[in-house]
Structure 1
Protein backbone atom coordinates (compact mmCIF):
# COMPACT_ATOMS: atom_id res chain seq x y z
CA UNK A 1 0.00 0.00 0.00
CA UNK A 2 1.14 3.50 -0.63
CA UNK A 3 1.80 6.11 1.97
CA UNK A 4 -1.04 8.12 0.45
CA UNK A 5 -3.50 5.27 1.13
CA UNK A 6 -2.25 4.84 4.70
CA UNK A 7 -2.54 8.57 5.41
CA UNK A 8 -6.05 8.64 3.96
CA UNK A 9 -7.32 5.74 6.06
CA UNK A 10 -5.63 7.23 9.13
CA UNK A 11 -7.41 10.53 8.37
CA UNK A 12 -10.79 8.76 8.21
CA UNK A 13 -10.11 6.93 11.47
CA UNK A 14 -9.15 10.24 13.13
CA UNK A 15 -12.38 11.86 11.89
CA UNK A 16 -14.29 9.07 13.57
CA UNK A 17 -12.19 9.21 16.76
CA UNK A 18 -12.79 12.95 17.10
CA UNK A 19 -16.52 12.24 17.09
CA UNK A 20 -16.96 15.19 14.76
CA UNK A 21 -20.08 13.98 13.01
CA UNK A 22 -20.19 16.83 10.47
CA UNK A 23 -17.48 15.56 8.10
CA UNK A 24 -18.64 11.96 8.45
CA UNK A 25 -22.20 13.02 7.62
CA UNK A 26 -20.92 14.80 4.51
CA UNK A 27 -19.00 11.70 3.44
CA UNK A 28 -22.01 9.43 4.11
CA UNK A 29 -24.21 11.74 2.06
CA UNK A 30 -21.68 11.66 -0.77
CA UNK A 31 -22.68 8.02 -1.40
CA UNK A 32 -25.86 9.36 -3.02
CA UNK A 33 -23.71 10.85 -5.80
CA UNK A 34 -21.17 9.57 -8.26
CA UNK A 35 -17.72 9.50 -6.60
CA UNK A 36 -16.19 12.96 -6.57
CA UNK A 37 -19.40 14.73 -7.59
CA UNK A 38 -20.67 15.85 -4.18
CA UNK A 39 -19.08 19.27 -3.78
CA UNK A 40 -19.14 19.31 0.03
CA UNK A 41 -16.94 16.18 0.09
CA UNK A 42 -14.20 17.68 -2.08
CA UNK A 43 -12.34 19.53 0.70
CA UNK A 44 -12.29 16.31 2.74
CA UNK A 45 -10.93 14.04 0.02
CA UNK A 46 -9.09 16.11 -2.59
CA UNK A 47 -6.05 16.77 -0.35
CA UNK A 48 -5.27 13.05 -0.75
CA UNK A 49 -5.60 13.02 -4.56
CA UNK A 50 -2.36 13.12 -6.51
CA UNK A 51 -2.07 16.08 -8.87
CA UNK A 52 -1.61 13.83 -11.89
CA UNK A 53 -4.84 11.90 -11.29
CA UNK A 54 -7.60 13.00 -13.66
CA UNK A 55 -11.25 13.32 -12.62
CA UNK A 56 -12.15 9.75 -13.61
CA UNK A 57 -8.95 8.09 -12.39
CA UNK A 58 -9.86 4.88 -10.56
CA UNK A 59 -7.61 5.79 -7.63
CA UNK A 60 -9.42 9.12 -7.16
CA UNK A 61 -12.85 7.53 -7.47
CA UNK A 62 -11.82 4.86 -4.96
CA UNK A 63 -10.86 7.53 -2.41
CA UNK A 64 -14.33 9.05 -2.62
CA UNK A 65 -16.08 5.68 -2.52
CA UNK A 66 -14.11 4.41 0.47
CA UNK A 67 -14.59 7.71 2.31
CA UNK A 68 -18.37 7.36 2.00
CA UNK A 69 -18.36 3.65 2.84
CA UNK A 70 -16.15 4.21 5.88
CA UNK A 71 -18.41 7.02 7.07
CA UNK A 72 -21.37 4.65 6.76
CA UNK A 73 -19.61 1.96 8.82
CA UNK A 74 -16.46 3.26 10.55
CA UNK A 75 -15.04 -0.01 11.79
CA UNK A 76 -11.49 -0.61 10.56
CA UNK A 77 -10.28 -4.19 11.02
CA UNK A 78 -6.72 -4.57 9.77
CA UNK A 79 -6.13 -7.62 7.60
CA UNK A 80 -9.80 -8.59 7.15
CA UNK A 81 -10.81 -8.06 3.55
CA UNK A 82 -14.35 -7.04 2.72
CA UNK A 83 -14.99 -10.45 1.17
CA UNK A 84 -13.64 -12.31 4.23
CA UNK A 85 -15.76 -10.12 6.51
CA UNK A 86 -18.84 -10.84 4.40
CA UNK A 87 -18.01 -14.58 4.32
CA UNK A 88 -17.79 -14.60 8.13
CA UNK A 89 -21.11 -12.76 8.27
CA UNK A 90 -22.68 -15.43 6.05
CA UNK A 91 -21.20 -18.24 8.19
CA UNK A 92 -22.55 -16.65 11.37
CA UNK A 93 -26.01 -16.18 9.86
CA UNK A 94 -26.03 -19.81 8.73
CA UNK A 95 -24.93 -20.95 12.23
CA UNK A 96 -27.84 -19.01 13.70
CA UNK A 97 -30.18 -21.00 11.46
CA UNK A 98 -31.14 -17.94 9.48
CA UNK A 99 -31.44 -18.46 5.77
CA UNK A 100 -30.31 -15.60 3.65
CA UNK A 101 -29.43 -14.52 0.18
CA UNK A 102 -25.95 -13.40 1.14
CA UNK A 103 -24.15 -15.63 -1.34
CA UNK A 104 -26.33 -14.31 -4.18
CA UNK A 105 -25.54 -10.76 -3.09
CA UNK A 106 -21.85 -11.55 -3.08
CA UNK A 107 -21.98 -13.10 -6.55
CA UNK A 108 -23.83 -10.02 -7.81
CA UNK A 109 -21.03 -7.91 -6.34
CA UNK A 110 -18.41 -10.00 -8.14
CA UNK A 111 -20.31 -9.64 -11.43
CA UNK A 112 -20.60 -5.87 -11.05
CA UNK A 113 -18.74 -3.59 -13.40
CA UNK A 114 -17.22 -0.24 -12.50
CA UNK A 115 -20.61 1.43 -13.06
CA UNK A 116 -22.54 -0.70 -10.56
CA UNK A 117 -19.99 -1.95 -8.03
CA UNK A 118 -20.58 0.93 -5.62
CA UNK A 119 -24.30 0.21 -5.30
CA UNK A 120 -23.50 -3.39 -4.39
CA UNK A 121 -20.80 -2.27 -1.95
CA UNK A 122 -23.22 0.10 -0.19
CA UNK A 123 -25.54 -2.85 0.42
CA UNK A 124 -22.73 -5.12 1.67
CA UNK A 125 -21.40 -2.41 3.99
CA UNK A 126 -24.91 -1.84 5.38
CA UNK A 127 -25.19 -5.56 6.17
CA UNK A 128 -21.76 -5.64 7.81
CA UNK A 129 -22.68 -2.56 9.84
CA UNK A 130 -25.87 -4.26 11.04
CA UNK A 131 -23.71 -7.03 12.52
CA UNK A 132 -20.89 -4.69 13.62
CA UNK A 133 -18.36 -6.57 11.46
CA UNK A 134 -15.31 -4.52 10.51
CA UNK A 135 -13.08 -4.71 7.48
CA UNK A 136 -9.75 -3.47 6.20
CA UNK A 137 -10.52 -0.22 4.38
CA UNK A 138 -6.91 0.06 3.17
CA UNK A 139 -7.31 -3.16 1.22
CA UNK A 140 -10.73 -2.07 -0.02
CA UNK A 141 -9.21 1.20 -1.24
CA UNK A 142 -6.52 -0.68 -3.14
CA UNK A 143 -9.01 -3.16 -4.63
CA UNK A 144 -11.50 -0.49 -5.63
CA UNK A 145 -8.81 1.55 -7.35
CA UNK A 146 -8.26 -1.49 -9.56
CA UNK A 147 -11.98 -2.17 -10.02
CA UNK A 148 -12.78 1.42 -10.95
CA UNK A 149 -10.01 1.50 -13.56
CA UNK A 150 -11.67 -0.27 -16.48
CA UNK A 151 -8.40 -0.56 -18.38
CA UNK A 152 -6.76 -2.49 -15.51
CA UNK A 153 -5.76 -6.04 -16.27
CA UNK A 154 -5.99 -6.96 -12.56
CA UNK A 155 -9.77 -6.77 -12.13
CA UNK A 156 -10.24 -10.50 -12.67
CA UNK A 157 -7.45 -11.31 -10.21
CA UNK A 158 -9.08 -9.05 -7.63
CA UNK A 159 -12.46 -10.73 -8.15
CA UNK A 160 -10.88 -14.20 -7.84
CA UNK A 161 -9.16 -13.22 -4.59
CA UNK A 162 -12.44 -11.83 -3.25
CA UNK A 163 -14.22 -15.07 -4.14
CA UNK A 164 -11.55 -17.17 -2.41
CA UNK A 165 -11.64 -14.98 0.70
CA UNK A 166 -15.43 -15.12 0.85
CA UNK A 167 -15.78 -18.88 0.45
CA UNK A 168 -12.96 -19.75 2.85
CA UNK A 169 -14.37 -17.40 5.49
CA UNK A 170 -17.90 -18.74 5.04
CA UNK A 171 -16.87 -22.32 5.82
CA UNK A 172 -17.67 -23.66 9.26
CA UNK A 173 -14.67 -23.05 11.52
CA UNK A 174 -13.58 -26.68 11.62
CA UNK A 175 -13.64 -26.97 7.81
CA UNK A 176 -11.70 -23.74 7.34
CA UNK A 177 -8.86 -25.13 9.45
CA UNK A 178 -8.45 -28.23 7.27
CA UNK A 179 -8.27 -26.23 4.03
Structure 2
Protein backbone atom coordinates (compact mmCIF):
# COMPACT_ATOMS: atom_id res chain seq x y z
CA UNK A 1 0.00 0.00 0.00
CA UNK A 2 1.34 3.40 -0.87
CA UNK A 3 2.46 5.85 1.76
CA UNK A 4 0.16 8.45 0.16
CA UNK A 5 -2.88 6.20 0.75
CA UNK A 6 -1.88 5.50 4.36
CA UNK A 7 -1.26 9.17 5.03
CA UNK A 8 -4.64 10.12 3.60
CA UNK A 9 -6.51 7.55 5.71
CA UNK A 10 -4.59 8.70 8.78
CA UNK A 11 -5.74 12.26 8.00
CA UNK A 12 -9.36 11.09 7.70
CA UNK A 13 -9.05 9.19 10.99
CA UNK A 14 -7.86 12.36 12.70
CA UNK A 15 -10.82 14.26 11.25
CA UNK A 16 -13.15 11.58 12.62
CA UNK A 17 -11.80 12.20 16.12
CA UNK A 18 -11.37 15.97 16.06
CA UNK A 19 -13.70 17.42 13.42
CA UNK A 20 -17.12 15.80 13.03
CA UNK A 21 -18.20 18.75 10.86
CA UNK A 22 -15.58 17.75 8.31
CA UNK A 23 -17.05 14.26 8.15
CA UNK A 24 -20.50 15.76 7.61
CA UNK A 25 -19.18 17.69 4.58
CA UNK A 26 -17.46 14.58 3.26
CA UNK A 27 -20.62 12.49 3.66
CA UNK A 28 -22.59 15.18 1.84
CA UNK A 29 -20.03 15.08 -0.98
CA UNK A 30 -21.29 11.59 -1.91
CA UNK A 31 -24.35 13.27 -3.43
CA UNK A 32 -22.11 14.86 -6.07
CA UNK A 33 -19.61 13.58 -8.59
CA UNK A 34 -16.30 12.81 -6.84
CA UNK A 35 -14.38 16.05 -6.41
CA UNK A 36 -17.30 18.34 -7.32
CA UNK A 37 -18.47 19.43 -3.84
CA UNK A 38 -16.54 22.56 -2.79
CA UNK A 39 -17.08 22.08 0.97
CA UNK A 40 -14.99 18.89 0.77
CA UNK A 41 -12.00 20.62 -0.86
CA UNK A 42 -10.30 21.73 2.40
CA UNK A 43 -10.09 18.14 3.60
CA UNK A 44 -8.99 16.39 0.41
CA UNK A 45 -7.38 18.75 -2.08
CA UNK A 46 -4.05 18.96 -0.21
CA UNK A 47 -3.58 15.25 -1.00
CA UNK A 48 -4.17 15.65 -4.73
CA UNK A 49 -0.89 15.72 -6.69
CA UNK A 50 -0.07 19.19 -8.05
CA UNK A 51 -0.11 18.15 -11.70
CA UNK A 52 -3.53 16.47 -11.50
CA UNK A 53 -6.46 17.72 -13.51
CA UNK A 54 -10.04 17.88 -12.20
CA UNK A 55 -10.97 14.51 -13.76
CA UNK A 56 -7.83 12.65 -12.71
CA UNK A 57 -8.76 9.15 -11.48
CA UNK A 58 -6.57 9.45 -8.37
CA UNK A 59 -8.27 12.75 -7.45
CA UNK A 60 -11.69 11.17 -7.88
CA UNK A 61 -10.56 8.16 -5.83
CA UNK A 62 -9.46 10.44 -2.98
CA UNK A 63 -12.82 12.22 -2.87
CA UNK A 64 -14.85 9.03 -3.18
CA UNK A 65 -12.84 7.30 -0.46
CA UNK A 66 -13.18 10.33 1.83
CA UNK A 67 -16.96 10.30 1.45
CA UNK A 68 -17.20 6.56 2.04
CA UNK A 69 -14.90 6.80 5.06
CA UNK A 70 -17.11 9.57 6.45
CA UNK A 71 -20.09 7.20 6.22
CA UNK A 72 -18.26 4.56 8.25
CA UNK A 73 -15.02 5.77 9.85
CA UNK A 74 -13.96 2.29 10.91
CA UNK A 75 -10.65 1.44 9.27
CA UNK A 76 -8.85 -1.86 9.82
CA UNK A 77 -5.77 -2.88 7.87
CA UNK A 78 -6.16 -6.03 5.83
CA UNK A 79 -9.96 -6.25 5.73
CA UNK A 80 -10.74 -5.30 2.15
CA UNK A 81 -14.18 -4.02 1.27
CA UNK A 82 -14.82 -7.26 -0.61
CA UNK A 83 -13.77 -9.51 2.28
CA UNK A 84 -15.84 -7.42 4.72
CA UNK A 85 -18.89 -7.82 2.48
CA UNK A 86 -18.20 -11.55 2.17
CA UNK A 87 -18.05 -11.83 5.95
CA UNK A 88 -21.41 -10.07 6.27
CA UNK A 89 -22.99 -12.24 3.57
CA UNK A 90 -21.76 -15.40 5.34
CA UNK A 91 -22.88 -14.18 8.76
CA UNK A 92 -26.35 -13.26 7.48
CA UNK A 93 -26.50 -16.26 5.11
CA UNK A 94 -27.55 -13.74 2.48
CA UNK A 95 -27.66 -14.45 -1.23
CA UNK A 96 -28.95 -10.90 -1.83
CA UNK A 97 -25.68 -9.43 -0.57
CA UNK A 98 -23.85 -11.75 -2.94
CA UNK A 99 -26.04 -10.56 -5.83
CA UNK A 100 -25.42 -6.90 -4.92
CA UNK A 101 -21.71 -7.62 -4.77
CA UNK A 102 -21.78 -9.20 -8.24
CA UNK A 103 -23.57 -6.09 -9.53
CA UNK A 104 -20.86 -3.95 -7.92
CA UNK A 105 -18.18 -5.96 -9.71
CA UNK A 106 -19.85 -5.11 -13.02
CA UNK A 107 -19.81 -1.36 -12.35
CA UNK A 108 -18.07 0.91 -14.80
CA UNK A 109 -16.12 3.93 -13.53
CA UNK A 110 -19.08 6.31 -13.94
CA UNK A 111 -21.53 4.15 -11.96
CA UNK A 112 -19.13 2.89 -9.31
CA UNK A 113 -19.60 5.78 -6.83
CA UNK A 114 -23.37 5.23 -6.66
CA UNK A 115 -22.90 1.50 -6.12
CA UNK A 116 -20.31 1.82 -3.38
CA UNK A 117 -22.45 3.88 -1.01
CA UNK A 118 -24.95 1.06 -0.30
CA UNK A 119 -22.06 -1.40 0.02
CA UNK A 120 -20.48 0.72 2.75
CA UNK A 121 -23.91 1.12 4.36
CA UNK A 122 -23.93 -2.67 4.78
CA UNK A 123 -20.65 -2.34 6.68
CA UNK A 124 -22.23 0.31 8.90
CA UNK A 125 -25.25 -1.89 9.65
CA UNK A 126 -23.00 -4.77 10.76
CA UNK A 127 -20.29 -2.59 12.35
CA UNK A 128 -17.77 -4.24 10.01
CA UNK A 129 -14.59 -2.20 9.40
CA UNK A 130 -12.61 -2.26 6.18
CA UNK A 131 -9.21 -1.22 4.89
CA UNK A 132 -9.87 2.20 3.35
CA UNK A 133 -6.24 2.63 2.24
CA UNK A 134 -6.61 -0.53 0.18
CA UNK A 135 -9.95 0.70 -1.16
CA UNK A 136 -8.34 4.00 -2.17
CA UNK A 137 -5.60 2.21 -4.10
CA UNK A 138 -8.17 0.02 -5.86
CA UNK A 139 -10.36 2.99 -6.75
CA UNK A 140 -7.36 4.79 -8.20
CA UNK A 141 -7.13 1.92 -10.67
CA UNK A 142 -10.86 1.28 -11.20
CA UNK A 143 -11.67 4.91 -12.02
CA UNK A 144 -9.21 5.09 -14.91
CA UNK A 145 -11.28 5.64 -18.07
CA UNK A 146 -9.06 3.42 -20.24
CA UNK A 147 -7.76 0.94 -17.69
CA UNK A 148 -9.94 -2.08 -18.48
CA UNK A 149 -7.16 -4.65 -17.93
CA UNK A 150 -6.17 -3.22 -14.55
CA UNK A 151 -9.83 -2.75 -13.60
CA UNK A 152 -10.47 -6.42 -14.42
CA UNK A 153 -7.54 -7.39 -12.21
CA UNK A 154 -9.09 -5.44 -9.30
CA UNK A 155 -12.49 -7.03 -9.96
CA UNK A 156 -10.98 -10.51 -9.93
CA UNK A 157 -9.15 -9.84 -6.67
CA UNK A 158 -12.32 -8.43 -5.11
CA UNK A 159 -14.17 -11.58 -6.18
CA UNK A 160 -11.47 -13.76 -4.59
CA UNK A 161 -11.57 -11.71 -1.37
CA UNK A 162 -15.37 -11.86 -1.19
CA UNK A 163 -15.68 -15.58 -1.84
CA UNK A 164 -12.84 -16.52 0.48
CA UNK A 165 -14.62 -14.68 3.29
CA UNK A 166 -18.07 -15.91 2.22
CA UNK A 167 -17.01 -19.55 2.00
CA UNK A 168 -14.50 -20.26 4.73
CA UNK A 169 -14.40 -23.94 3.73
CA UNK A 170 -12.83 -23.19 0.33
CA UNK A 171 -9.34 -24.30 -0.59
CA UNK A 172 -7.99 -20.82 -1.31
CA UNK A 173 -4.56 -20.61 -2.86
CA UNK A 174 -1.87 -18.60 -1.14
CA UNK A 175 -0.30 -17.07 -4.22
CA UNK A 176 -1.46 -13.83 -5.78
CA UNK A 177 -0.16 -12.23 -8.96
CA UNK A 178 1.62 -8.93 -8.73
CA UNK A 179 -0.79 -6.03 -8.65
CA UNK A 180 -0.95 -3.12 -11.05
CA UNK A 181 -0.07 0.15 -9.41
CA UNK A 182 -2.22 3.24 -9.14
CA UNK A 183 -0.20 6.13 -10.42
CA UNK A 184 -1.16 9.14 -8.39
CA UNK A 185 0.37 11.69 -10.70
CA UNK A 186 0.29 10.21 -14.18
CA UNK A 187 -3.50 10.45 -14.50
Extract unaligned runs of 5+ from structure 1. Answer: none
Report 1:1-179 matches (<5 A): 1-18=1-18, 20-94=19-93, 99-152=94-147, 153-171=149-167, 173=168, 175-176=169-170, 178-179=171-172
Q: What per-residue deviation string (whole Å, max 9, x for no partner) do you get for residues 65-102 of structure 1?
A: 000000000000101110000000000001xxxx4511
Aligned to 2:184: none
Mapped to 1, the partners of 2:83 and 2:2 lie a distance apart of 22
Q: RMSD of the TM alignment (CA)?
A: 1.1
With normalisation by structure 1, the TM-score equals 0.92
With normalisation by structure 2, the TM-score equals 0.88
Extract unaligned runs of 5+ from structure 2. Answer: 173-187
- How many pairs align? 171
Q: Give the secondary structure class of the aligned counterpart of 2:51.
A: coil
Mapped to 2, the partners of 1:150 and 1:166 lie a distance apart of 25
Q: Give the secondary structure class of the aligned counterpart of 2:30.
A: helix
Mapped to 1, the partners of 2:48 and 2:6 lie a distance apart of 13
Q: Give the secondary structure class of the aligned counterpart of 1:101.
A: helix
Which structure's residues are more often helix, by fraction?
A: 1
**Structure 1 ranges of 4+ moved more than 2 A:** none
Q: Give the secondary structure class of the aligned counterpart of 1:60.
A: helix
Aligned to 2:179: none
Shift of 1:3: 2.2
Mapped to 2, the partners of 1:146 and 1:163 lie a distance apart of 16
